[in-house]
Amino acid sequence: MLLLALDTATFAVTVALHDGDRVLAEESLIDPRRHAETLTPMISSVVASAGRTPAQLTAVAVGVGPGPFTGMRVGLATAVSLGLALDLPVHGVCSLDALALAAVEQGAPADFVVAGDARRKEVYWARYRAADGAIERVSGMPQVARPADLPSQIRELPAAGRGPVLFPESFGPALQPLDVPAGSLASYAVQQLGLGHELLPPQPLYLRQPDAKPATAQKSVLPR
């Protein structure tokens, strides 16, 4: 196996290469406004630094969000394009799940929350339990909410992601990391595939409608 993992659903542009046993190379850049400019050169850099070529890749894993519409689509479009060009399977991974595994790898407790910045003073969130280095999402599908509206049992838990940094009064102790690292996304995908589990399709995980909407009526260009 030689799996390329990437994610642009958080503030990070992040890429990693995994051989089925370990992460061979990984790069991340915190820049929420330059996903498109930095992702492709980063993929080339990661593959080259591992001493491999794109022709040796066997699969792609990509974070499907939830996250900002524009940044998330950059990663998904790139992953799907690579899959088509190289005839590779492309697997989707919930970005909150990848962030949760990263938190466990950095010492998170057995019961915690991942809360990412959803803008509009809201967070994308899900609750997790950890055991033996693996994670389980125990709150169902990820949700979006104002932090102050979350149930008290959620607000009391330690939390990874940018949510507890932006809204410290609404969460328990802040955990690392703040953004998705592609190495953890790769490890999650490898774990799930090794267990025979089916991952998500490479399609954006939207939790609300976009701000931009098509016009419902034509506007007149004639003076009134």
Per residue in 97-122, pLDDT (tens digit) is: 999 999 999 999 999 999 999 999 99
Q: In this structure, how many other beta carbons lie within 10 angstroms of the beta carbon of residue 213? A: 7
State how far the alpha carbon of 157 is from the alpha carbons of 127, 142, 152, 170, in Å: 9, 16, 9, 10
Q: Are both 129 and 84 inside the same structural domain? A: no
Q: Are both 32 and 62 inside the same structural domain? A: yes
Q: Are both 121 and 154 inside the same structural domain? A: yes
Q: Are both 74 and 185 inside the same structural domain? A: yes
Q: Are both 31 and 131 inside the same structural domain? A: no
Among 146, 156, 152, which residue's Cα sits nearest to residue 117?
Answer: 146
Q: Are both 142 and 69 inside the same structural domain? A: no
| Segment 59-88, tens digit of pLDDT | 999 999 998 878 899 999 999 999 999 999
107: Cβ contacts below 8 Å, ≥ 6 apart: none
Q: What is the average per-residue pLDDT within 121-146?
A: 95
Q: Is residue 148 assigned to a domain?
A: yes
Q: Are both 186 and 86 inside the same structural domain? A: yes
Q: Is residue 157 assigned to a domain?
A: yes
Q: Where are the beta strands (DSSP E) in the chain?
A: 3-7, 12-18, 23-30, 59-63, 90-93, 111-119, 122-131, 134-137, 143-145, 159-160
Residues in a beta bridge with 135: 130
Tell me the pairing of strands 122-131 and 111-119: antiparallel
How far is residue 126's CA from residue 146's CA, in Å, rounded to a whole number?
13
Q: Residue 74 is part of a domain; what is its CATH number?
A: 3.30.420.40
pLDDT score recorded for residue 212: 45
Dihedral, CA atoms, 148, 152, 156, 161, nearest 10 degrees? -40
Q: Are both 13 and 80 inside the same structural domain? A: yes
Q: Is 224's pLDDT higher than 60?
A: no
Q: Where are the alpha helices (DSSP H) in 26-89?
A: 35-49, 69-86
Q: Is residue 205 assigned to a domain?
A: no
Q: Where are the alpha helices (DSSP H) in 106-148?
A: none
Q: Is residue 102 assigned to a domain?
A: yes
Global pTM value: 0.90
The mean-pLDDT minimum among 31-35, 91-95, 151-155, 171-175 falls in 31-35
pLDDT score recorded for residue 71: 85
Among 183, 150, 188, 143, which residue's Cα sits nearest to residue 169?
Answer: 150
Domain count, the chain: 2
Q: Is 47's pLDDT higher than 90?
A: yes
Q: Is 223's pLDDT higher than 60?
A: no
Q: What is the average per-residue pLDDT within 196-221?
A: 71
Confidence band of 137 (pLDDT split at 50, 70, 90): very high
Q: Is residue 19 assigned to a domain?
A: yes
Among 114, 109, 128, which residue's Cα sits nearest to residue 179?
Answer: 114
pLDDT score recorded for residue 216: 53
Helix, coil or strand: residue 56: helix
pLDDT score recorded for residue 36: 83
Q: Is 221's pLDDT higher than 80?
A: no
Q: What is the mean pLDDT of the chain?
A: 92
32 DSSP 8-state letter: T
Q: Is 217's pLDDT higher than 70?
A: no
Q: Are both 152 and 186 inside the same structural domain? A: no
- Tokens standing for 84? 């088509």
Q: Is residue 101 assigned to a domain?
A: yes
Q: Are both 46 and 66 inside the same structural domain? A: yes
The mean-pLDDT minimum among 80-84, 86-90, 168-172, 209-213 falls in 209-213
Q: Is residue 200 assigned to a domain?
A: no
How far is residue 147's CA from residue 164's CA, in Å, rounded to a whole number?
9
Q: Is 222's pLDDT higher than 80?
A: no
| Segment 5-45, tens digit of pLDDT | 999 999 999 999 999 999 999 999 998 778 888 999 999 99
Q: Is residue 210 assigned to a domain?
A: no
- Give the residue numbers spanning the domain of 71: 3-94+180-194
Q: Are both 114 and 161 inside the same structural domain? A: yes
Q: Are both 71 and 106 inside the same structural domain? A: no
